[in-house]
């Protein structure tokens, strides 16, 4: 009987340990690393949450906060990012992968509508090493009512042929966005719903291929997601903004 009780206790502890170790169970809203930055676990990857403290930083410039009011993981493992008004100022959000993955296909499964953002809000899905080695999918009207809501961009965006803008014409809250970054070409795509490939052309929101001279080299770039205010100006509707990413895949 004593041996049976010991085995039962051992099995119980083993089950608890297995549950804790399973990916995607519950949420992981972060820990502090040695430098003081907040780290979250999202889609199986470590992400660093940016903070500028009591100073502003680019883009914008804006205040960026690592508070759980601005960045958090919900019980389903989805990433939430929010622009909040707190302590008399607007606080924006950014996360970046702790590791560089270089040439790869990056897939973002989005669960809120980028076409409904206030005209001052910018939501970016991008790889970044420096201001001239950057690949962007950006959702914004850039302060202009009735402007197109989205763009694919290779930096520097001032170079002719380095940008493609489009309207989203979404059919619901779910959409998928892809950056397929290769040495000689970058392919962008956006689809209705959550899917890796469209079943027909009606599921394609937009697509674009770039093979110009500004393809970034595979160096120390990081995948990032940000939510910020154009030129640091408050939302025109005075409301806080929240966006949701269900998951990110690197293929």
Tens digit of pLDDT per residue, the chain (251 long)? 444 343 344 444 444 443 333 344 456 776 665 468 999 999 999 999 999 999 999 999 999 999 999 999 999 999 999 999 999 999 999 999 999 999 999 999 999 999 999 999 999 999 999 999 999 999 999 999 999 999 999 999 999 999 999 999 999 999 999 999 999 999 999 999 999 999 999 999 999 999 999 999 999 999 999 999 999 999 999 999 999 999 999 99
**Is residue 248 a contact partner of residue 194, using CB atoms and an 8 Å limit?**
no
Domains observed in the chain? 29-250 (2.60.120.200)
* Closest listed residue to residue 127, CA positions, set 193, 181, 78: 181
Distance CA 135, CA 210 (A): 11
**What are the structure tokens assigned to 231, written together?**
């030129």
**What does the pLDDT read at residue 87?**
93
CA angle 245, 229, 99 (to 5 degrees): 45
| Three-class secondary structure of residue 97 per DSSP | strand
Report CA dihedral (96, 166, 122, 230) to the nearest 10 degrees: 130
Q: Mind giving me the DSSP string for 185-215?
A: -EEEEEEESS-SS-SSGGGEEEEEEE-STTP
pTM: 0.88
**What does the pLDDT read at residue 83?**
98
**What does the pLDDT read at residue 7?**
39
**What does the pLDDT read at residue 17?**
42
């Amino acid at each position: 009987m004593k041996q049976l009780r010991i085995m039962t206790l051992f099995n119980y502890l083993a089950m608890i340990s297995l549950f804790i170790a399973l990916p995607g169970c519950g949420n992981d809203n972060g820990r502090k690393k040695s430098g003081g930055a907040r780290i979250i676990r999202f889609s199986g990857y470590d992400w660093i949450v940016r903070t500028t403290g009591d100073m502003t930083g680019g883009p914008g410039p804006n205040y960026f906060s690592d508070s759980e009011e601005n960045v958090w993981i919900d019980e389903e493992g989805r990433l939430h990012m929010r622009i909040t008004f707190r302590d008399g100022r607007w606080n924006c959000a950014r996360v970046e992968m702790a590791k560089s993955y270089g040439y790869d296909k990056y897939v973002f499964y989005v669960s809120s509508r980028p076409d409904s953002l206030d005209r001052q809000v910018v939501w970016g899905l991008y790889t970044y090493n420096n201001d001239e080695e950057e690949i962007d999918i950006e959702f914004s009207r850039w302060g202009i009512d009735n402007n197109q809501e989205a763009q694919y961009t290779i930096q520097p965006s001032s170079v002719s042929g380095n940008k493609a803008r489009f309207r989203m014409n979404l059919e619901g809250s779910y959409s998928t966005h892809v950056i397929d970054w290769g040495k000689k070409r970058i392919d962008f795509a956006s689809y209705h719903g959550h899917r890796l490939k469209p079943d027909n052309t009606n599921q394609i929101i937009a697509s674009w291929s770039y093979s110009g001279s500004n393809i970034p080299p595979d160096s120390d770039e990081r995948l990032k997601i940000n939510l910020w205010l154009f030129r640091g100006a408050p939302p025109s509707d005075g409301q806080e903004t929240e966006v949701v990413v269900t998951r990110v895949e690197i293929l």
